[in-house]
Structure 1
């Protein structure tokens, strides 16, 4: 009996030593991109990444890098970090976890107008300027249906990243644009944080008729060779999903589907 207890004690000690010496979990994150992440670790992806790291008994270590064009090639592919939060399911060049949430682009309209838009053929889009995020040099995906329905001349571009990313929602509230089409997590977060008098409604349907998606299941990317880490993250997401959902709710992230991640 003593021998059995001794064996258990040794096993526990070994597990403790292994956990203490586990490599930190390196997470690539943008230092200035709320509501997703910032250097003060105030974004919802910061908080979810920390939850997952602790579930894996590893210390989270953020590697700060701007999430702009060339990021995967210059940072992630060169091994600067182990994982990357907020990657659309199926993105090429990486291995994706199971989704931890799903969201869509949303229409943002001034609350004072009592107008709720959900479709690109809505006649309410025919008058006034329409705000749209700019990703690097290109408009965000909703530009395709907007242009097809004849609204090219009404489009006004806004920064999608950094300190000015909130401007597109504020522009709707103060009347600089008549409405906007915005990635849901950004619109929901800034509308609540700044108490903006706007109405938010998800774009109807999950994709444009051309096949370009307007709703995305968001995953955690790992290196394609790291199947073991991906499996560990999948198990962590399953275990932590209620806590992840609670974080998303605190940040007012609009979720598409049943609210249980992207599944």
Structure 2
């Protein structure tokens, strides 16, 4: 089987009218993947992320040329997908209403990370010790909204002892692994982090930390675990069926890729992997 990779820097065209940027519709033998250029463990321009691995497997399976369309912000990526700059994104919550999503191929959650020698093991948002411990959180997501841990802790009255970490990585001043390193070097007592970021960087840096999935919060009614599928445009049902068939045929390989990248997973809801496709 053969496949090749082409990279398009769509972001550099942002000043042009949308219609002028729009490429041709889907073409046989061409797999156009929407991806973030600097978002490990998921993807980067060097091809080091788990989505890069999945895209390569998909292109090889379909004997297709692989083409990436890079865009950093999730909402902007959906504009790229729905505007037909690219045809599939390999990571999307199944309940998203922005695209047509497959059935999930894994489920992950936000996690509490602590050193294994921590004197007190925090297991949930209602632990009274949270009001005295130094807690690391990512304060704002790529879409400019506060992250679920930051919002939930605030509702639980845990505010003054939070240590904020950036989710914007520019100029080498801040990196996603900083919050994980801060737990290991005792700069903070614990952190509440998106599981894939925590698991990947702990494994990559050789850090022996404990991971506790955060359960959905009854006070805020906020979910902390998400089932993840792949997404196409809603109208492209036949293509989405092909993506779903790829997932179904390669579940063991997909699971091995997730494990290789240290992604912590939680069980999928009963029958979710066998039900109808997402929106």
- Give me the CA root mean square deviation: 2.2
Larger Rg: 1
Q: 1:13 corresponds to which residue?
A: none
The normalised TM-score by structure 1 is 0.84
Q: 2:226 corresponds to which residue?
A: 216
Which structure's residues are more often helix, by fraction? 1
Matches within 5 A, 1:207-246: 207-246=217-256
1:52, 1:237 within 8 Å by CA — same for their partners in 2? no
Q: Deviations over 1:80-100 (max 9, x none)?
A: 100112111121120001111
Distance 1:78 1:172, change over 3 A: same
Q: 1:187 corresponds to which residue?
A: 198
Matched, 1:25 2:31: yes
Q: 1:43 corresponds to which residue?
A: 49
Question: How many Å separate the matches in 2 of 1:181 and 1:143?
Answer: 9
Q: 1:147 corresponds to which residue?
A: 154
Q: Deviations over 1:177-222 (max 9, x none)?
A: 211100001100100110124221111x345443321000011110
Distance 1:189 1:110, change over 3 A: same
- SS of the equivalent of 1:221 reads strand
State the shift of 1:250 in Å: 0.8
Q: Deviations over 1:149-176 (max 9, x none)?
A: 2112222221235461111111111122
Distance 1:207 1:99, change over 3 A: farther
Q: 1:196 corresponds to which residue?
A: 207
- The size of the alignment, in residue pairs, is 241
The equivalent position to 2:258 in structure 1, one of 242, 248, 261, is: 248
Distance 1:262 1:115, change over 3 A: farther
State the shift of 1:68 in Å: 4.5
The normalised TM-score by structure 2 is 0.79
1:105, 1:183 within 8 Å by CA — same for their partners in 2? yes
2:108, 2:195 within 8 Å by CA — same for their partners in 1? yes
Q: 2:8 corresponds to which residue?
A: none
